Each structure stands twice: as C-alpha cells, then as structure tokens.
Structure 1
Amino acid sequence: MAKVVLITGGSSGIGKSIGEYLTDKGFTVYGTSRFPEKYTDSKFPIIKLDVTQTASISECVSELISKTGQIDVLVNNAGIGITGPLEEIPMEEMKRNFETNLFGPINMINAVLPYMRTQKSGQILNITSIAGYMGLPFRGVYSASKGALELITESYRMELKAFNITMSNIAPGDFATNIAAGRYHAPLLEDSPYKVAYGTTLNLMDSHVDSGKNPLLMAQVIHKIITSKNPKIHYKVGAFLQKFSVVLKRILPDLWYEKLLSRFYNI
C-alpha cells in the first residue's frame, strides 16, 4: 500500500513541488490550503486547513483519516515570512508569525501522533530555514520562529523514539517561490532611524529569492529522506554559501561572525 503523505501549505511554492514530485513517485499525497477551492487543477487533492486554528487542524486530520485510514508522513511546510526592525514590528505581527511557524506545526504534530502511534510507525518532516540557525538583521522574528522549530524537533525525536516515529528538520536557503509576496513587511518609515539599513536589506532579500534555487531540489531531498532507513535530524538545502554560513557560525568567534553578517547586509 502506498504511503500517505500530508503536506501543509501544499498549494504553491515548495509544498506544491514536493507534492507533485511525491505523487509522481507513487505516494498518496494530500496538500492543504486555507482556500482549497482555488486549486481545482492541483495534481493532488487539497484539504482545507488553517494551521493557526486548532479546530481546523482537527478537521483536516480527521478528513484525511476518513479518506485514507492512515497517515504515514506529515510535512510541516506552511509558514510565513516577516521582516522589519525589531523595535518597529507590531507585537501582534510577531505573535502571528510564531502562531504559523511554530505553534501551528506543533499542533499539527500533536494531531497526527495518536494515529501514528496506533500504526506503530510514522515520519514527520519540519521545513525550517537556514535563517533559523542565526539571528539575521531585520529578520529576527523569522529567524527566532524557525530556530525554535529546529530545537523543538530535537526534543520530539527523543520523546517519540519508543513509538517508531521519526522526525527531521529540512532547512532551505533561498528558493524561487512567491514567499516574498506573502511576507509581512514592517513599513519603511520616512522618519525611522533604520530607514537606510532596512531598505537596503529588503532589496537584498528580494533579490536572493528571485535568484533562488529551483523548489524541485527540495522535493528531491524530501523524497530521499522519506525513503531513507535512518533519516538524520538536520538537513540543509540551498546554495553552498548559505549552507556554509551555518558551518562558519559554529567555528568562528561570535564577534567575527557578527561582522561577517553585517558586512554581507551592508549595515
């Protein structure tokens, strides 16, 4: 019987690429969206889901189980970006980001665990970010929410080991998707002391996404992890320099690394 895969945020970008690739490989794939009616031409079924609402999560998982009777793989892909000076980002936007990027995945995990325990098997893949390995200027909230998910995964793995349920992080760098369009941008205020530095960083981030890797690369990595006998805890996917930045953070003195990042962002 084909493995059943549920991908949150599976209607576009990386999630869509993963879903299409796994469908072609013979998996039974379901994606999610807050507005599934928009994606009637999807290569795989789309279930309604808002990861910030626990009732919506319960309904989504129940619908999947009623259709398939099982869930073998959960890919926590849904997420949103956020940029801005930490001093100027509204607190409600910070909380909204954590609700989507951290608490949403946690609630999704907890919703599928009872079914996976009954099956005595399961695999959960959390899409984090290379940005989660470091505090980036004007991306601090995003870095924090993705970094928190990285650490939560490490804890879950040890707690779930006895139930034959594995969990891994996949941290992408910049990919050519529409993530920038859905990102919350704190306004570039004329009288802000951060106006020049923040404006420069915004332009740099958008250019990185535009020239990013093909999302197909992420799909191929996800497939490799799902078919692996002993999946690792952490995976990093993207341009060499982005992956190498994580290595540098581990080996360089803190102040050196901070200067390196500051110089990269021209601040």
Structure 2
Amino acid sequence: MSQIVLITGGSSGIGKSVGEYLSSNGFIVYGTSRNPENYKESKFPILELDVKKVETIHQTVKTIIDKEGRIDVIINNAGAGITGAIEEIPETEIRANFDTNFFGPINVIKAVLPQMRKQHSGLIINITSIAGYMGLPYRGIYSASKGALELLTESFRMELKGFNIQMTNIAPGDFATNIAAGRYHAPLLNDSPYKKPYGDTLNLMNAHVDNGSDPNMMAQAVLKVINTKKPKAHYKVGEFMQKFSIVLKRILPDKVYEKILMKHYKL
C-alpha cells in the first residue's frame, strides 16, 4: 500500500524536488501552496494551505484524510528567509518569520497528530537549516527560528514515543533554489552603521544559494529517512564544509569559532 505524504511548500524548490522524487518512487504525494492555481502543471496535486492560517491547515488535512483515509508522512518544508541587522529588522517582520518557520510547523503537527495517534503510526520530518545550529551575522532571525524548530523536535520526540509516531529534523545547507527571491531583506540604508558589512554579507549569501547543491540531494535524503525504521533526531544534508561547521562549533571554544565565522563573512 502506497504511503500518503503531505509536503507544505511543495510547489517549488526543495519541496517540489522532494515531491516529484517521492511520487516517482510510489508514494501518493500532496503538496501545498498559498496559490495552488499557479501550479496546475505540477506532477502531484497542490492544495491550498498557508501555514500562518490555521483554518487552511485543518481544511487541507481533512481533505486528504477524507480522500485517502490516512496520512503517513508530513514534511514541514514551508519556510521563509530573512536577512538584516537585527537592530534594523522591523518587529512585524521578525514575528512574521517565526509565524512561518516556527509556529507554522507547530500548527501542522497539531493538526495531524490526532489522525496519526488513531493510526498508531506516522512520521513527521521538519526541514530546518544548518543555519539553525549557529547564530549567523545578518541572518540572526532565520538562525533563531530554525534553531527553535530543531529543539522543539527533540521535545516532541519524547512526548510522542508512546504513540509510535516518529519525528526528525533534516537540516539542509545551501541549495540552488529560489529562496533568496522570497526572502525578506531589511533595506540597505545609506545612513546605516551596518551598510557596508551587511551589503557585503548579503552578496556572499546570495552567491552561496546561486552556487548551491542540487535539491535532488535533499529528495534522496528524505526517502532514506522515510525508509529508516527509527530515524535519528537530526540529519544534515549539504556540502562537507557546511556540515563540518557544526562539528567545529561543538569542539572549538566559542571565541575561536566566532572568529572563524567573522573571517568567512569578512567582518
């Protein structure tokens, strides 16, 4: 029997690659978008869902359960980038980012848990970020929202163990997607004390995404996790140095690691 998969943010980038790959491997996949009418050529159904609107989450989950009778895998992929000096990012933008990257996945998880408990089975995969393992300059809000989701998963895993519901994180590095186009960029202000370092860092970040890895690497990693009987809490997917940076953070003194980061970003 084919497993039923729901991918939030499944219309482009990593979500689209994962959806197409799982579909080609025999899964029944549903993706989501705030504007599904724009993706009529998708290779799998795209349903309307905005992770910031709880009613759309519940409606989509109900639609799938009514049609398929179950949901086996949830992939919390919908996310938003944000850059800027923390001092200069409006509070409304900070809250909006956490609404998408943190509270959105929580509400999706809450919506599917009753069905998964009923099935006594289920797997929830949260797509986080290697940036969530460290506070990065001019990406502090993004790092914080993804890091919060990483920790939340650890708590959820213990709470859900008795229901045979698995949960894990997959943290990607830089991938060649359109995330940079959809980011909130705090404007480069001429009179800002951060103008030059923020501008230089922004150019470096965009170059990393443009030269990022093939999103199919993430798709293969997701399938491997789905086929793992008891997934670990954390997985990292990306170039060697991106994954190794997490190891360095764990073993190096804080100040030494901070200097390495600042040298990398030319600060």
Q: Do Structure 1 and Structure 2 share a fold, with TM-score over 0.5?
A: yes
What residue number does 2:104 align with? 104
Return the alpha-carbon distance in structure 1 between the equivalents of residues 67 and 132 of structure 2.
35
Alignment correspondent of 2:262: 262
How many percent identity over aligned positions? 69
- Counterpart-to-counterpart distance in 2, 1:203 and 1:60: 38
Q: Calculate the TM-score normalised by the size of structure 1.
A: 1.00
Letter in 1 for 2:90: P
Q: Structure 2: any 5+ residue segments left out of the alignment?
A: none
Q: State the partner residue of 2:88.
A: 88
Distance apart, 1:64 and its partner CA: 1.1
Partner of 1:234: 234
Q: Distance in 2 between matches of 1:91 and 1:67?
A: 40
Which amino acid is 1:161 matched to? K
Q: Deviations over 1:119-157 (max 9, x none)?
A: 000000000000000000000000000000000000000
* Shift >2 Å, 4+ stretches: none
* Counterpart residue number, 2:219: 219
What letter corresponds to residue 214 of structure 1 in structure 2?
D
CA displacement at 1:49 relative to structure 2 = 0.1
Q: Distance in 1 between matches of 2:54 and 2:7?
A: 17
Whole-angstrom CA distance in 2 between matches of 1:53 and 1:37 = 18
Asked if 1:198 is matched to 2:202, the reply is no
**Amino acid paired to 1:252:** L
Q: Deviations over 1:205-259 (max 9, x none)?
A: 0000000000000000000000111211100000110000000000000000000
Q: State the Cα deviation string for residues 2-25 of structure 1 (Å, max 9, x = none).
A: 000000000000000000000000
Match of 1:70 in 2: 70
Contiguous gaps of at least 5 residues in structure 1: none
Q: Distance in 1 between matches of 2:138 and 2:205?
A: 10
Alignment of 1:1-267 (within 5 A): 1-267=1-267
Could you tell which deviates more after superposition, 149-158 or 63-72? 63-72
- Once the two structures are TM-superposed, the CA of residue 96 in structure 1 deviates from its matched residue by 0.1
User: TM-score, length-normalised on structure 2?
Assistant: 1.00
- What do residues 65-92 of structure 1 show as CA deviations (whole Å, max 9, x unaligned)? 1121110000000000000000000000
CA RMSD of aligned residues (A): 0.4
Distance 1:192 1:64 in 2: 49
CA–CA separation in structure 1 for the residues paired with 2:186 and 2:66: 42
SS at match of 2:86: coil
* Alpha-carbon distance between aligned partners in 2 of 1:128 and 1:253, rounded to the nearest angstrom: 25
* C-alpha separation in 1, matches of 2:64 and 2:265: 44
Partners of 1:201 and 1:68 lie apart in 2 by 46
